[in-house]
Chains A and B, each alone.
Chain A
């Protein structure tokens, strides 16, 4: 039960939630998962050697990881974008809610790019190119995500249909 806590200490939220809801059984799963993650992170680190976005735990945090932009409008823009980007090292946390060094580096990237006047959606695309769709909490409109967008429409249509049927019948009563 000890391994998951020490291995990625920065993702307290996922650790804690797992410990609470999963428990003994799931800790086995967590251990297995940790192994998967180690590989995943190793792969990422490999990419990081060539990519400008170096996520290396040993380095001090990038300047804008824990520093806000001076212009409140730009900071609000950056904050809004960060809340929709996933921390790749954690479970179900945005980079705006994470202590993981990698999330800090991504926050730095987002803030410096916003400060340089880049469009938030362009930054999102830039990150998606590097890390895949997984990094964006806003689902991208692609064939694979069509069902996600169809579902609400389907439910609305179903709701309209159910309500209509109900009202018709009651009119006759």
Chain B
């Protein structure tokens, strides 16, 4: 009953999306302008209906209704509550329903609160949003129905993959989805503004919170995903330029560029077409990411060719939305002027430079990710990996970070280098001193880590400069957001460079009682014991690690064996100090009875993820600042309207 109800609500929501699209499109014509009134309520109702459908699916998973195919295939009655809940989106159909739910709720929310835009532009935006949703409704209802019933329910469900039964991973997909979907709202705003040729500061102000929100979630998702890869995979790597990672990095790069160009548009009414273009690109990258991950094309082009239904569907959606938006862009771009002008030395220029460099990196990642698929389709298998991505993206990233040191202290419109001599000199001196220290005092290290170690401290100092000479209590929150975000980039860069430059590895075959030196640590293997968990058994090593002769700390790396479904997993044990992490892994038993142990000492490696968290925090501060100002503004407008009304009486 609940499944049928959910499906019915999903169909009704899809019908409402059609209504929203048609009414919205008609409302833009003078003859049928009276239809505009129904677009907002329809958008809100649509959001509520999909949310109810999603709630229905959640309740099916919580009650483990095995007559529903999706539940039978992906759940198990004996799972803990939290993984029954997370199981709702731990599968293809459920995750697509979640996507549509977030998207429609966001659309309904826009309809509910957005008051800055011209009504026409808002209607066009909502129509655009309905158009995008419709594609996903079609995908859901025609190619991946989550509510399909089974004729004969099985006695028990198949269970959730044990790797997914991890609290971090349970919430990783929703985090990235919120990011992707937030960019769909930015896309709809861009389309709406193009339709009504109404690209200006109001449009940028309306779009900015959505871009910021999406960007915060993408940042968190990528940071958490990187840490997860680091601690679960057992070899100490934190970024692999894997296509799945790239799929999440590309929307982030585009969103970062969009965020900055939005600021220019909001503050200076410049970069109009460029901002709209980025809005289209950012969502395109989300769609490309979804296609890469969902179509199965990554595992092998051939696997994709075997069952191309869903992949083709997403590819068609991609072509319709991106192609359509680009066509609209090509038709309208000529009529949207680029806006206010600015001098070579100005904050706008620095932001334009940042945008172009980010787009350069984006282009590199896109080409490097897609090109092997292309050659594979042509019958030649090539690999593109870190030796390509690292240096090539650095060619763009390093100039960008150098400009980033001065950008925030430049004035809008026009400035001179002479005015900010000190602000340029201080970070430059810090960088030069750091580079000198790295080259003279340390053993020779590779070029990229050395540059990273030099740039990071200078960037950290430079990121604080916008606060110099300000009254800190009256500084607006978005300024703090920028400072914290840029500082976070410096922190993360330092962690990455330090990991690349100073990591020490120690592989050793050990008997209990043996010791090894790993960087500043002396590690002693004390014992190997069998242990058991709720659904696994493991061999557990007891390792005593002593930092530079201090009191030893005990670590327990494990080699786990899962029974149902069967699988092995190494469980590394980490010892975190303020200046780095000791990483320990228990390997297999050798022929001579000794155990393969792997240790790494990675100085300052946690700063990579602290940095990522700081960047997200910076985004949050900026968002809070913007939203608070908008709320105050709305309250003020309401007050004025209320007073006028009273005076009118």
Q: Give A residues with C-beta under 8 Å from B.
A: 1-2, 5-6, 9-10, 12-13, 15-26, 28-30, 32-33, 36, 60-61, 66-68, 79, 83-84, 86, 91-94, 96-99, 132-140, 144-145, 147-148, 151-152, 155-156, 159, 162-163, 166-167, 169-171, 173
Residues of A within 8 Å of B241, CB to CB, are 92
Q: CB within 8 A of A19: which of B161, B233, B240, B344? A: B161
Contact B375 A66 (CB under 8 A): no
Contact B233 A5 (CB under 8 A): no
A-binding segment of B295-303, B458-466, B601-609, B617-625? B295-303
Told that A25-B296, A148-B388 touch, could you supply 7 new A-B pairs with CB distance under 8 A? A5-B161, A24-B73, A29-B296, A66-B596, A68-B505, A98-B235, A147-B371
CB-CB nearest 4 A-B residue pairs: A137-B385, A29-B296, A2-B565, A25-B92
CB distance from A35 to the nearest CB of B (A): 9
Tell me, in angstroms, the Cα distance from A162 to B359 when the chains sit together.
12
Residues of A within 8 Å of B588, CB to CB, are 61
Cβ of B507 under 8 Å from chain A: yes
Residues of B within 8 Å of A139, CB to CB, are 382-384, 388
Contact B344 A170 (CB under 8 A): yes
Cβ of B306 under 8 Å from chain A: yes
Residues of A within 8 Å of B420, CB to CB, are none
Residues of A within 8 Å of B566, CB to CB, are 2, 5-6
Contact A68 B507 (CB under 8 A): yes
CB distance from A56 to the nearest CB of B (A): 15
Contact A148 B368 (CB under 8 A): yes
Contact A25 B367 (CB under 8 A): no
Known A21-B244, A67-B507, A159-B360: A137·B352 in contact at CB below 8 Å: no
Please, could you name 24 A-B residue pairs with CB atoms under 8 Å apart, sorted by A?
Answer: A1-B74, A5-B565, A12-B569, A21-B293, A22-B294, A23-B91, A24-B91, A25-B144, A36-B300, A61-B588, A84-B386, A86-B385, A92-B243, A92-B244, A92-B385, A94-B240, A98-B235, A99-B570, A133-B380, A137-B385, A138-B387, A151-B367, A166-B352, A171-B343
Contact A137 B384 (CB under 8 A): yes
Residues of B within 8 Å of A169, CB to CB, are 341
Residues of A within 8 Å of B570, CB to CB, are 12, 99
Residues of A within 8 Å of B383, CB to CB, are 86, 133-137, 139
Residues of A within 8 Å of B163, CB to CB, are 5, 15-16, 19-20
Residues of A within 8 Å of B164, CB to CB, are 19-20, 23
Contact A84 B385 (CB under 8 A): yes
CB distance from A96 to the nearest CB of B (A): 7
Known A12-B232, A24-B74, A30-B299: A84·B387 in contact at CB below 8 Å: yes
The closest CB in chain A to the CB of B371 belongs to: A148
Tell me, in angstroms, the Cα distance from A138 to B391 when the chains sit together.
11
Within 8 A of A (CB), among B50-91: 70, 73-74, 90-91
CB distance from A123 to the nearest CB of B (A): 15
Known A13-B233, A20-B169, A23-B95: A151·B363 in contact at CB below 8 Å: yes
Known A29-B307, A97-B233, A170-B341: A159·B242 in contact at CB below 8 Å: no
Residues of A within 8 Å of B385, CB to CB, are 84, 86, 92, 94, 137-138
Tell me, in angstroms, the Cα distance from A167 to B342 when the chains sit together.
9
Tell me, in angstroms, the Cα distance from A134 to B385 when the chains sit together.
11
Residues of B within 8 Å of A156, CB to CB, are 360, 395
Tell me, in angstroms, the Cα distance from A52 to B301 when the chains sit together.
30
Cβ of B534 under 8 Å from chain A: no
The closest CB in chain B to the CB of A138 belongs to: B387
Tell me, in angstroms, the Cα distance from A99 to B161 when the chains sit together.
21
A19, A20, A97, A148 pick with most chain B CB within 10 angstroms: A20
Contact B343 A151 (CB under 8 A): no
Q: CB within 8 A of B93: which of A24, A133, A159? A: A24
Within 8 A of A (CB), among B484-510: 505-507, 509
Within 8 A of A (CB), among B329-353: 341-344, 349, 352-353
Within 8 A of A (CB), among B286-322: 293-294, 296, 298-300, 302-304, 306-307, 310
Q: CB within 8 A of A138: which of B235, B306, B388? A: B388
Tell me, in angstroms, the Cα distance from A145 to B614 when the chains sit together.
38
Contact A159 B233 (CB under 8 A): no
Contact B342 A170 (CB under 8 A): yes
Residues of A within 8 Å of B229, CB to CB, are 13, 17
Contact B367 A148 (CB under 8 A): yes
Residues of A within 8 Å of B353, CB to CB, are 163
Contact B172 A20 (CB under 8 A): yes
Tell me, in angstroms, the Cα distance from A163 to B299 when the chains sit together.
39
Tell me, in angstroms, the Cα distance from A132 to B232 when the chains sit together.
30
Tell me, in angstroms, the Cα distance from A171 to B342 when the chains sit together.
8
CB distance from B348 to the nearest CB of A (A): 9
Contact A163 B352 (CB under 8 A): yes
Contact A1 B343 (CB under 8 A): no
Contact A26 B371 (CB under 8 A): no
Residues of A within 8 Å of B506, CB to CB, are 68
Contact B234 A99 (CB under 8 A): yes
The closest CB in chain B to the CB of A140 belongs to: B382
Q: CB within 8 A of B382: which of A1, A26, A60, A144? A: A144
Tell me, in angstroms, the Cα distance from A167 to B349 when the chains sit together.
8
Tell me, in angstroms, the Cα distance from A100 to B73 when the chains sit together.
30
Q: CB within 8 A of B235: which of A23, A30, A96, A163? A: A96
Cβ of B112 under 8 Å from chain A: no
Contact B382 A134 (CB under 8 A): yes
Tell me, in angstroms, the Cα distance from A91 to B372 when the chains sit together.
13
Known A12-B232, A18-B299, A68-B506: A173·B382 in contact at CB below 8 Å: no
CB distance from A7 to the nearest CB of B (A): 10
Q: CB within 8 A of B395: which of A20, A152, A173? A: A152
Residues of B within 8 Å of A171, CB to CB, are 343-344
Contact A67 B352 (CB under 8 A): no
